Structures are given as C-alpha cells and as structure tokens.
Structure 1
C-alpha cells in the first residue's frame, strides 16, 4: 500500500505536539485494522465491567461512535481504557454526552455548546481525535482513507409528510414515545435543537467539502452518532422515536463526499447496509438488556467490535439486503 506523505506529516505534527505534554497518552500511526463501537454506556455496571475487559489491539485504531457515557467521569473511564488498548482513538458525541445532569449537590452544569466543548476537552485529555480536530488520513489496512468524525444532531425531520414540525413531538407522545433529550439535552445558545442541528450540518458540510478538496483521490470514512439516512432507521417497537434519530439534510452525504464507509450508533440495533456502493455500519453495544443474549453466549465488547477497515468486500450485486448483526 502506498504511503501518503501529506497525511503522515499531518499526524506527525500532532504527535510532536502531543509529545510535548507528557500527561497526554501517546498516539501512534496505526498500521493494522480500524474498528468501531458505539453506545457503550459505561454508566451501567455490566457495561463498565465489559469495557474493562477490552483487550489490547497494538497497531489498530478505534472509533467510539457516541454515547460512551453520561458524564465527564464516565467519558474519562471509556477513553482511558480505549487509549490503553488502541494506537489511535476517534470519538464523536452522542446525545448522552450532551446531557446536562445535576451533580450530588443538585447543581446543574453547563448546557448546549458549552457542554459539547467540555466533552471535547475531555477527549483531548486522552489524545482522542474528535470532530473539532483536523481529519486524519488512515494508512493502515484498507487505506488510505480520510477518517471524518462529525456531529450533526437531529431536527425532527424523520417523520411522516403529514406530520408538521410543531406537531412532531405530540405525535410521538400519542404512542408513549418521548426522548429523554427533551428534558436533558439543551441547545443553548440556539433557540431549538433543530436550529443547532442546522448550524452543525452547515459546519460539517463545509469541513467535509474541504477534506474532499484536499484529498480528492481518497475515500472518506464518516462517523456520526446519528444515522445519515432515514431509510436506515428501523424501529419495530418504537417507530416514532425516529424523530430523534437524524436529519434529512445528510441523506446524500455518502455520495457527495465519496464515502467508503459511514458509521453510526444510537439505534442499539447492529446492522450493515449498502447504498450506492457505500457500506453503512450501525455499531452499537447498547444497554445491558439489549446485548444480554450476546453475554450469555460469551460475547462481550471484544467480539462486538465492528471491523471497519479493511472490512468485507464490496458486494458484486447492486441490491444487497440489510445484514442484521445481532451477535456481532
């Protein structure tokens, strides 16, 4: 595989900067495989124990696709183990990292954009690459490719055509469905979550366009907690939860930005789809009850890590059915 001098220089500059601060864990240029997992929710005791059993992957990289925990303390626990086991770790935020929760004294913390920045600061404590960092070129197996962690949120557009924006949440409540986000995820300083989503979409649209211009011959690996397409949201038991699962503004991003793989979490339903030659991977672990059958079979986080690169070969047929990956 050919080396990319521009990419090596980019990561090399980061490594030199990191080395100047001995308190930050070192990061190496991975030469092996790229894995991903999301929604590890280490605030749950069973998930915390499972994450503590993550095994070393020297030479490999890992993308944490959001919802690692509900607090800075839980994020540190997740990042600490991840960076011990993988040469390079990426992270993009989920809704749970953005929750504003009261502390033991009952005092609530920062909200909205400030809460997101707090999460970014925690990631940087552990040298974890995040949406605010420069995109890095992967030169390990299955590369070269640009690794692009992003953050888009949602705007309630994953709803039927006959349901208005104003009527969307009441429509979901008709079936006893309402995301905790409505109470704990604040959009400050934006007037609404959908307004914040619009700003984020514009921000990362610009960043992805710049990456395509800088590396015109390289495919992208886009990682976002929320699915980029509505047709990837299949929620058999809570279909109206789709409101909190993404935005239609990103529907064609896999084509526009030459994505090789798009990774997401959030749904807690592991699946693989192919759209226009692009592989879509939902990589959630989920709450303990949602991977209980896996645990009973002796399958933990190590077995449920999803190989992103090199990954499976591109199917030779145009129509490929969804692969429901219950056990990995």
Structure 2
C-alpha cells in the first residue's frame, strides 16, 4: 500500500468527469472482472463509490486501493455489506469499530470518507464547483411495510412474507442499542455538518441508502423498504443547496427527479441482475458534467 493524504486530493481542473458507482460486490466471483473494468477516461476523473464494495475488510481495501490508483480521487461511503461481521472475515470488528477501521484504511489510501472534509470538485461553468458530501446514514425502519404503523408491525410483516434483510443477522450496531439508534445518531451528526456547509457551494450528496422513500416504490417486495433509509432525510434535497444525490442499495440503476433535484442510483448489483438488464448506461454513471439523460423507471429484484 502506498499511503496518500485523504485531505489533499488531486485538484480537478474542469477537464475531468465526476463519476459514480455502487454495489460492486467484488466478493462474488463474477463481479470481480466487472469491477476491474472500472477505469477513467482522463487523468482528471473523480469517482464516488457509494457502498457495498464487498463484505470482507481485506476485499474492500483491495478494491479501493485499485480504484484510488486509477482515478484522480475516490470518495467512499459504506453500505450495509461492508458493515457485516462474517465468521470467515479475519477482521472480527463489529458496528462502530468496524466502520472506524474502514475509515482508517481509506485514509491510508487517500480515499475520502464521511468523516473527512468535503472535497471540492471544480468542474467548469454551471457544472462546478461542487462539494462532494459522502454520508453514512443507515436506516431506522420508518419506510414501513404497507398497512403497518410501527417498527414491530413492519418487521413482523416482513418475516411473514419471508422478506428479511441479512442485516438483521450480520450488521451489529455496537455500541448503539439498535441499528435505528445508530441511524438517528448518524443523521444528527450529518445534518449538523450539512447545515454548516457554505450554502453558496452546491453539494453532491452521496450515500448508500436513498434520502427519500420514493425510489423504493418500484421494488418487487415493498416489505424490504424498511431497510432502505429514513424519513428523517426526506427534505434534505430541498433544505440544502443540492446539485445531485447519488445512492445505491436498491439495485435499480436509474435517474429520477424529486422537487427538481436529480437522484442517481448507480449500482452494479448481483450477476443475476446485470446479466438480465445489462449495463445500458455503462458501468460508471456520469454525475457531472450532467449529460441531460432522463430514463423511464426500472424494476428489478430487491437487494439484501
């Protein structure tokens, strides 16, 4: 490993692109060659990696090290899979300690994390500058299953339907009492940082889980939505000066608009998914300069 300074990314000069991807799942053999095809088109391209790189810490590190060596700068935020504690993973850390370990790894690689200052991508004209805000927020079960009004009812409905996220068994919230308590703590911390940001500089907010519930409406299994975000962030794209929102997790890659703000779901997903739908927009989504593409809604299997 060749340590770099996470606080000093290579400056963007307006010639490169701001690209994004998520849900690489390189722990799956058939996804490894797909991830290896992720390459910039210029030395100035930046890359946002919005979570679910892999489950084992070493695989996460290896993938991010490769990408950091290719792109001018990489910005990462964790998904749920990076936070799983697996029996086969030599890194047995749980919860907050596991997250902090991954942050330290990223800093050694020169990769920006949600714990670092927001890097500024210069762009040019209307496309810049923007500040890239990686956010780690989790979920709090407020995207409840239809016909339920409490977390307990919603979880019971999911168990009845046989639609239960693996997080319930592998994502530990230590030292927080629950995943939703951890989510509320992360939301409060992130909200303070966003509020303190210079409102004259637009933000690209990048997180694993969507900020609003609407993207989950096309999932095959509505019970899964409770593991997909929190109502606490529903107005962030309106409250703050947001140029675009980047997320993954749903494995439904598409572009949607809410209140005039562009939302980009940028996941690769599982082989059974990308073999069926292909990669019609390529492996990397161009966030800026914005190319003006609008897409019809897509529906796919729900992620775990």
Superposed pair shares fold, TM > 0.5: yes
For residue 107 of structure 2, give the secondary structure of its aligned residue in structure 1: helix
The answer to whether structure 1 residue 40 and structure 2 residue 24 are counterparts is yes
Contact 1:72 / 1:122 at 8 angstroms: preserved in 2?
no
| Cα root mean square deviation, aligned | 2.3
The answer to whether structure 1 residue 261 and structure 2 residue 240 are counterparts is no
Shift of 1:321: 7.6
Instruction: Give 1 or 2 for the bigger CA radius of gyration.
Output: 1
Residue 158 of structure 2 is matched in structure 1 by 172
Residue 317 of structure 1 is matched in structure 2 by none
- Following the alignment from structure 1 to structure 2, what is the Cα–Cα distance between the partners of residues 131 and 229? 19
- Following the alignment from structure 1 to structure 2, what is the Cα–Cα distance between the partners of residues 72 and 236? 29
Structure 1 length-normalised TM: 0.83
Shift of 1:144: 0.7
The answer to whether structure 1 residue 23 and structure 2 residue 3 are counterparts is yes
Aligned residues: 292
Residue 303 of structure 1 is matched in structure 2 by 282
Shift of 1:152: 0.6
Residue 49 of structure 1 is aligned with which of 33, 43, 67? 33
The answer to whether structure 1 residue 271 and structure 2 residue 271 are counterparts is no
Shift of 1:305: 0.6
For residue 204 of structure 2, give the secondary structure of its aligned residue in structure 1: strand
Residue 66 of structure 1 is matched in structure 2 by 51
Show structure 1 runs of 5+ residues with no match.
1-20, 315-319
Contact 2:254 / 2:295 at 8 angstroms: preserved in 1?
no
What is the correspondence of 1:1-16 to structure 2 with a 5 Å cutoff?
none
Per-residue deviation, residues 110-150 of structure 1 (Å, max 9, x unmatched): 11110110111121121100100001221024211111000
- Residue 40 to residue 59, structure 1, CA distance change in 2 (3 Å): same
- Residue 153 to residue 22, structure 1, CA distance change in 2 (3 Å): closer
The answer to whether structure 1 residue 114 and structure 2 residue 87 are counterparts is no
- Following the alignment from structure 1 to structure 2, what is the Cα–Cα distance between the partners of residues 322 and 221? 22
Deviates more, 1:229-238 or 1:114-123: 229-238
Show structure 2 runs of 5+ residues with no match.
none
Residue 68 of structure 2 is matched in structure 1 by 83
Contact 2:219 / 2:299 at 8 angstroms: preserved in 1?
no
- Following the alignment from structure 2 to structure 1, what is the Cα–Cα distance between the partners of residues 289 and 299? 18
Contact 1:163 / 1:171 at 8 angstroms: preserved in 2?
no
Per-residue deviation, residues 79-104 of structure 1 (Å, max 9, x unmatched): 12211221010001100000011137
